[in-house]
Structure 1
Amino acid sequence: MSRSDRKKGARSATAGPGGTNVLSPAALYEAGLHHLGAGRLLDAQVCCEQALAAEPTHADSLALMGIIALQTGQHDHAVAWFSRAIRQSPKIDYLTSLGFTLKQMGRLDDALAVFDKAIQLRPDDAELWKHMGGVLLALDRGAEALLSYQHALTIDPAHRESAFQSGLLLHQQQRYDEAAQAFTVCLAQQPNDLQSLQMRARCVRELKRYDDYLADCERAQALAPDDALVCNNLGDALVCLRRIDEALVWFDRALALRPDFVDVLHNKGFALLQALRFEEAIAVYRKILALEPDNAKAEWQLAHIELQCGDYAAGWAHREARWNMPDFSPDYPRFTQPKWLGQEDISGKTILVEEDEGFGDNIQFARYLPMVAARGAKVILVVREPLRRLMAGIDGVSQCLAFTPDLQRPAFDMHCPIMSLPLAFGTTLDTIPPANYLPPPPADRVAAWEQRLGGHDRLRVGLVWSGNPHQANDGNRSMPLSTLLPLLDVAADFISLQKELRPADRALLAQQSRIRDLTADLADFAETAALMSCLDVVVTVCTSTAHLAATLGRPTWIMLPHLADWRWLRDRDDSPWYPSARLFRQDAGRSFEPVVHAVRTELAAMITGFNTTTA
């Protein structure tokens, strides 16, 4: 049937007795809606045209013409029709349709203005606030979008889409508790909503609510038993709860579903490492590298296992993969000068050595600086300010600068990150440089601390129980002060070297008359070194204090987690890096209480020897 035939049919269908047209524009609009619902767009258009021929300002027909244009991909025409309808009657539905069309066209500012007008007309409409949030999100104005979604929820607390989008934005902002609550709103309406369930699981994981994380992962697995990612997440939850053997079952199930799922292989390798199954973990990371030769994260993890197992030749080389990890040392400059890794002759050259990891790392590997100078190079060292005074006096360092974002470095020929120096010198277990490279603390500062500490008729014990809370493994390496309190039963003088105090530790330390807290006057590592020189032993977790004390040759007792850092190797209570260090390791129970008990026993024996010597 031709278009003219359709028009005739429409006209005859509207003719009454005597040929009089009896259908109103409203009736024609309703007929058009019926045709549109049945997918007959041309018939719907004919009805609208007839209605508008009779009444050119019929708003509903104008808007319906806009919908027809939109469905046929004629966005410009749709905008024109909706705009004409709004001029006749600014109904919310017309404004919403125009806003949607403008958003689809990428005219986001115009869409925003339309939804703003709609909200002025009906401010208590949660849907409109949701639409406003969508446009703001498309404009990359996430903070404002979140406010729009949250306002929608104040109007309708059960508005699921606003709750979901709020949850996503709150998660991006690391407001995990609020995000989890938003996804709970979604799940209250749709308990089997897998996406909301998985997002809530991610939030509670970040909050370290591992039992809740496991519960959500178990629910997700019941909903999607053949989803490899869901199985992986369940394994991850079990790792968080230190149920390693159970976790490995789920990682293997995920890999049975997707054998080359690299994310699962990463998690399996990490779990094997937690179980101290080093050789199996190495095999997993090598499989990842076979699948993805450029996978820097896998190479980085492999490096640490190799170093922990004493394979320094492979480990140092693989550790260079860190520079291909996007989130590694973001402040480390990318120099145009070449990197020196030991191959070139540097006699007469100026070498810039710059720190690239933690304070303890820089202290440990500063031992290589005299070796660089011994090859005939002028050494310029850049470290953070707390290390500058300590390291400025190292033999062979011509100039030591404090890092600032706008630091103007002197001219240099080549550079080497300080953590790459072991590779540059081909370090093996048998060729670790000695630990006597720091100059002794200034005698006047040591004397000042001796005077402040008073009589030395009892053993002086320095204490450190926690490290940087932002360090990735801090939950395993640090302990609360309360765990360390049994040490105070022995007859010794205890001095806190703990610079950063967590709130609970701060309150507890204030109650301990047996621990002297002098850290307010420890302005930098050089001052800490002067105080340490007055102590008989330093008892510490694996943090920068351990490196400083051991480098100074002080007896240093390091309390280590079950999976210790790679530098402490495996199954040893001594360290080739630090002759004065003793290592006290957690057993498979992963608790520090037995470690503290062992340290207390050794302290008691040391006190006996001290008392005998001073008697």
Structure 2
Amino acid sequence: MNRQQRRSVGQQQAPARIAPAQVALAEAIRLHQAGQLDAAVPRYRRSLALAPDQPDALQNLAGALNDLGRPAEALALLDRALALRPLYPIAHFTRGNALWALGRPDDAIAAYGVALTQKPDFAAVFEARSLVLSGEGRFGDTLADAEAALRLAPRDPYAHNARGNALRALGRLEEAISSYSRAIALAPDYADGQFNRAQTLLAAGRLDEAWSGYEWRWQTPQMIAQHRRFRVPHWQGEAAGAEAGAGLRLLIHAEQGLGDTLQFCRYLPMVAALGFTVILEVPRPLARLCGTLDGAADIVVQGEALPAFDLHLPLMSLPGRFRTTLASIPARTPYLAADSAAAGLWRARLDGFGRGLRVGLAWAGNPSPGNPARGAMDRRRSIAPGRLAPLWDISGVTFVSLQKDGPRLPDSLPVFDAMDEMGDFADSAALVSTLDLVIAVDSAVAHLAGALGKPVWLLDRADPCWRWMLGRRDSPWYPSLTLYRQETPGDWESILAEVRADLARLALQSNRPG
């Protein structure tokens, strides 16, 4: 049972006159505290069927449903509980959790505020609110709440983790690492603390210290359900010499986002060089493009039948298996290739727009509905199309949309948009290969351009993903990438003004034959 689940379980306060309901409630709480949420839910419902007006049963059932990913049901129950007992801080806390899960951060913050008004020493509420505030880019307030939680519970590993998250978002990486280390010292099996520390070490460029901790990702609540288990063992990296993997079939399976797969599939030639026959399993949109990668004997689409294999490994464990440091990142590009015939067709269509610089644009990532933390991150990394207005009147530039999903540009703008014709990333790669430059937020499009060796300007949020690091304009992963990073959360205007000036200068230097 995780911390959030424990905190969502209130104490039984049912009156004696509803003893059968009280018995059912006690059994539900026992199952809930044991982490058996699916079994607890019908017991809560049984108790409420016997006695509907039980604030504790309503609140606890709401907590279980929220942890089962059913926040809308939880919210309705909490409204009933609070109508019966308005002074009920744990219910306001659980209500904040449900609102956060529903993508209503402002309402969640308000609910947490009510909980703290009723119970000012409720450390868990400060921790939860710090997470929501971080999602909204309010990193100073995030740190204040995390430190308030620590004053109330100085030996609480979750509070130390919350402080680490706030410090990392503020760019204070070494302090963040210390906070995560304190959390781990208090609770060595705390997966979030281990994983967050590893990501912060990566952001600090301390790659060799990070990879073992990065393996804790599979124990975190957000990723444990994605952990693949097979009847064959993990490859532990034992085969270090040439041909040491001869005769063995190794399955490498993609994980996390499309951009992650595009970034880390670069390791497959290194695996194949050890003599393994490599099977790469990827999402369908990447299958054709990954077929251009050296080192993969077989490409399999996720969800389809796998051939026989002797060993397996998640894709993003490969850097650790090769003990990657900043100096040893396999940074040679391109390692993916576009279809030349398809590229020729796109080139001919773009020739109709005349001379000038051809610049691809991608302004949004994946909003990740149902995942409030990732959804909040996407809001911070994405740019509303209207904010791109300073770019449109640059002379000598043909803009090409590379935005497949998300908010679209008005049809009246001078942008070539054929994304409805894109069936997969191989199609997109053919178009990208004809461009002079790609300008993108932190999304799969930026990784695609980098993997193809195309110049790419990455427009990055103030609290970057670990892979883009801090204090540099380049990337050790993609030699053709230049970073434009916010100084202040949410300030795209300054970034776009800089991009406009640099792009106008580049357009003047361009001399495409007519």
Same fold per TM (> 0.5)? Answer: yes
Q: Which aligned pairs between 1:244-255 and structure 2 lie closer than 5 A? A: 244-255=139-150
How far is 1:375 from its partner?
Answer: 1.8
Corresponding letter in the other structure for 2:475: S
Whole-angstrom CA distance in 2 between matches of 1:393 and 1:479 = 32
Residue 166 of structure 2 corresponds to which residue in structure 1?
271
The separation in 1 between residues aligned to 2:506 and 2:234, in whole angstroms, is 47
Q: What is the count of residue pairs matched by the alignment?
A: 477
Is 1:308 matched up with 2:203? yes
AA in 2 matched with 1:399: D
The 8 Å contact of residues 252 and 313 in structure 2, kept in 1 or not, is answered as: yes
Q: Which residue of 2 aligns with 1:155?
A: none
Match of 1:578 in 2: 478
SS at match of 1:463: strand
What's the secondary structure of 2:198's corresponding residue? helix
Query: For residues 102 and 539 of structure 1, do their structure 2 counterparts lie closer, same or farther at Cα, with a shift above 3 Å needed?
Result: closer
Are 2:414 and 1:514 equivalent residues in the alignment? yes
Map of 1:374 onto structure 2 = 273
Residue 499 of structure 1: aligned partner = 404
**CA 1:443–1:220 in structure 2 vs 1: closer, same or farther (change >3 Å)?**
closer
Moved more, 432-441 or 257-266: 432-441
2:305 is aligned to 407
**CA contact 1:269–1:282 (8 Å) conserved in 2:** yes
| 1:204 positional shift | 3.2
Q: Is the 8 A contact 1:395 1:437 kept in 2?
A: no
Q: CA deviation at 1:458?
A: 2.2
* 1:416 equivalent among 301, 308, 313: 313
Q: Distance in 2 between matches of 1:516 and 1:143?
A: 56
- DSSP 3-state at the match of 1:584: strand
Whether the 8 Å CA contact 1:542–1:558 is kept in 2: the answer is: yes
For 2:75 and 2:221, the matched residues in 1 are separated by 28
Answer yes or no: is 1:459 the counterpart of 2:364.
no
The alignment status of 1:432 with 2:335, answered yes or no, reads no
1:544 corresponds to which of 444, 463, 466: 444
Give the Cα–Cα distance (whole angstroms) in 1 for the partners of residues 484 and 40 of structure 2.
55
**Any idea what SS the aligned residue of 1:430 has?**
helix
Q: How does 1:221-260 map to 2 (within 5 A)?
A: 221-236=116-131, 238-260=133-155
Deviation at 1:210, TM superposition (A): 4.0
Query: Structure 1 residue 393: deviation in Å?
Result: 2.5
Give the distance between the partners of 1:311 and 1:476, measured in 2 at CA. Answer: 26
Deviation at 1:207, TM superposition (A): 4.4
Structure with higher Rg: it is 1
Residues in 1 aligned to 2:25 and 2:90: alpha-carbon distance in whole angstroms:
25
Cα distance in 2 between the residues matched to 1:166 and 1:424: 44
Residue 359 of structure 2 aligns to a residue whose secondary structure is strand
8 A Cα contact 1:146 1:169, kept in partner: no
SS in 2 for 1:330: helix
Moved more, 241-250 or 287-296: 241-250
Partner-residue secondary structure (3-state), 1:334: coil
2:247–2:277 Cα contact (<8 Å) kept: yes
The one-letter code matched in structure 2 to 1:425 is: F
Cα distance per residue 1:552-598 (max 9 Å; x no partner) = 11111111011111111111111121111111100134322211221
Q: In the alignment, what sits opposite 1:482? A: 386
Q: Please list the CA deviations of residues 498-557 of structure 1 after superposition, one character each: whole Å capped at 9, or x if unmatched.
A: 1112xxx24xx2433312221111111111110101111111011111111111111111
Aligned-residue offset at 1:613: 5.1
* CA pair 427-541 structure 1, distance change in 2 beyond 3 A: same
Query: Identity over the aligned pairs, expressed in percent?
Result: 34
Which moves more between the two structures, 340-349 or 138-147? 138-147
Pairing 1:394–2:301 present: no
> Contact 1:341 / 1:423 at 8 angstroms: preserved in 2?
no
Q: Classify 1:171/1:184 alpha carbon distance in 2 versus 1 (closer, same or farther; 3 Å).
A: same
Which deviates more, 184-193 or 381-390? 184-193
Q: How does 1:108-507 map to 2 (within 5 A)?
A: 140-141=41-42, 171=66, 176=71, 180=75, 183-184=78-79, 186-187=81-82, 190-236=85-131, 238-325=133-220, 327-328=222-223, 330-344=225-239, 345-404=244-303, 407-410=305-308, 412-455=309-352, 456-470=354-368, 472=374, 473-491=377-395, 492-501=397-406, 505-506=407-408
Q: Give the aligned CA root-mean-square deviation in angstroms.
A: 3.3
User: Deviations 1:71-93 (Å, cap 9, x if unpaired)?
Assistant: 9xxxxxxxxxxxxxxxxxxxxx9
User: Compared with structure 1, are the counterparts of its residues 101 and 427 closer, same or farther at alpha carbon in structure 2 (3 Å cutoff)?
Assistant: closer
If the length of structure 1 is used for normalisation, what is the TM-score?
0.70
- Secondary structure of the 1:582 match is strand
AA of the residue aligned to 1:493:
T
